[in-house]
Amino acid sequence: MKIAFFDTKPYDRAGFEKYSKDTGLEIKYFETRLNPDTVSLAQGCGGVCVFVNDDVGAETVDRLCEIGVRLIALRCAGYNNVDLGRCAGRIRVVRVPAYSPYAVAEHAIALLLTSIRRIHKAYIRTKDFNFSLSGLTGFDLHGKTVGVIGTGKIGRIFIDICRGFGMNVIAYDKFPAEGRGINYVGLDEMFAKSDIISLHCPLTPETYHIIGAEAIERLKTGAVIINTSRGALIDAEALLEGIKRRKVGAACLDVYEEESDIFFQDFSGHIMSDDVLARLISMPNVIVTSHQAFLTEEALDSIAKTTVENILAVERNEDCENEVNCSGGKAGD
């Protein structure tokens, strides 16, 4: 099978070359993203391989079907960018449900520690031989309460790490995990009690803006919000307001609501057109990384291995355990 690989970055290729070697798979790499304007690049290919910000909406799916593409291979876990209903019965969709949940959980902790111990400030100061400590006072994690929304693979690892710090963990999940000793509470209680909130649930119509103006109002003053899941879980404008009003103590964001035209690209030297993002980044208590949480050697290797296996299974017309049920049978992300 020939695969059109969209949104290629230099770090993607090594793993895919390694695992596709000697399989008969031919991969055509394109730097551009998949969207209705670029879909014709997949002409002659049996499948497309896409990432989190490719546009696989209804129009793209229709065009893919028209040109004979039979497979959409997501090299990520989330599939909120794919119109599954449009794919049902026409085109198969596979994904990588887990690659390194440690990568994402550890990145969430890295952001948290950087933020609350002001490492981002200290790094810049000492580079400039400024050894003053003024304004760098942080707080201990030990004894603090962290609220975790979504206790799947990543959320549970995040919880384990937090327990190692001696934190008190409370959690909310629509489908609580049995027998794992997790203290589940309702969202109201979580918002009222948490010093830190970390998001690890998928983006669905139900979780869209789960942190919006109303939720922020119910938070403890000074609460820290971490989002390494999907940008639209947070209403970015409401977050900015919460920060300006000093209600939110700090925000650690690896994802952003309107990231698709911005993240993964170099805009240094350009005028940033997204005012909300620019204002958030200008805040001393906001740290933004550009959807980087997955980016470890282990995760990249695992993504390439599983994606190639998924593609080969579909090519052989076999069942694939990582196939997304486009008729709506499979919940979550």
Strand order in the sheet with 248-253: 168-172, 145-149, 196-199, 223-227, 248-253, 286-288
- Which of 212, 220, 214, 169 is CA-nearest to residue 191? 220
Q: Specify the residue, 1 or 304, whose C-beta has the smaller distance to ligand NAD.
A: 304
Written as one letter, the residue type at 7 is D
Establish if 185 lies at the interface with ligand NAD (CB under 6 A). no
Binding segment for ligand NAD (CB under 6 A), chosen from 42-50, 96-104, 258-266, 278-286, is 96-104
CB of 172 to ligand NAD, least distance (A): 6
Residues 103-122 that bind ligand NAD (CB under 6 A): 104
Question: Alpha helix (H) ranges present in 21-132?
Answer: 58-66, 84-87, 101-116, 119-127
CB-CB contact of 248 with 235 (8 Å): no
Establish if 78 lies at the interface with ligand NAD (CB under 6 A). yes
Binding segment for ligand NAD (CB under 6 A), chosen from 214-222, 271-279, 291-299, 319-327, is 291-299
Q: Specify the residue, 34 or 201, whose C-beta has the smaller distance to ligand NAD.
A: 201
CB of 148 to ligand NAD, least distance (A): 10
Residue from 110, 294, 300, 308 touching ligand NAD (CB under 6 A): that is: 294
Q: Specify the residue, 63 or 200, whose C-beta has the smaller distance to ligand NAD.
A: 200
Establish if 332 lies at the interface with ligand NAD (CB under 6 A). yes
CB of 210 to ligand NAD, least distance (A): 7
Residue nearest ligand NAD by beta-carbon distance: 152
**d(C-alpha 277, C-alpha 324), whole Å:** 32
**d(C-alpha 311, C-alpha 48), whole Å:** 10
Give CA angle at 198 (197, 199), nearest 5°: 125
**d(C-alpha 39, C-alpha 56), whole Å:** 10
Establish if 100 lies at the interface with ligand NAD (CB under 6 A). no
Residue from 22, 128, 206, 266 touching ligand NAD (CB under 6 A): that is: 206
Written as one letter, the residue type at 67 is I
For ligand NAD (CB under 6 A), the number of binding residues is 32
Backbone Cα Rg of the chain: 21
Binding segment for ligand NAD (CB under 6 A), chosen from 4-12, 63-71, 152-160, 312-320, is 152-160
CB of 100 to ligand NAD, least distance (A): 9
CB-CB contact of 236 with 211 (8 Å): no
- Which of 262, 253, 258 is CA-nearest to residue 281? 253
Give CA angle at 213 (103, 332), nearest 5°: 40
Active site residues: 230, 259, 291
**d(C-alpha 131, C-alpha 133), whole Å:** 6
Establish if 77 lies at the interface with ligand NAD (CB under 6 A). yes
Residues in the chain: 333
CB-CB contact of 305 with 112 (8 Å): no
Residue from 46, 153, 234, 304 touching ligand NAD (CB under 6 A): that is: 153
CB of 81 to ligand NAD, least distance (A): 11
Residue from 49, 87, 91, 201 touching ligand NAD (CB under 6 A): that is: 201
**d(C-alpha 106, C-alpha 102), whole Å:** 6
Residues 227-266 that bind ligand NAD (CB under 6 A): 228-230, 254-255
Binding segment for ligand NAD (CB under 6 A), chosen from 12-20, 130-138, 226-234, 269-277, is 226-234
Q: What phi, psi does 235 have (nearest 5°)?
A: -80, 105
Residues that bind ligand NAD (CB under 6 A): 77-78, 98, 101, 104, 149-155, 172-175, 200-202, 204, 206-207, 228-230, 254-255, 291, 293-294, 332-333
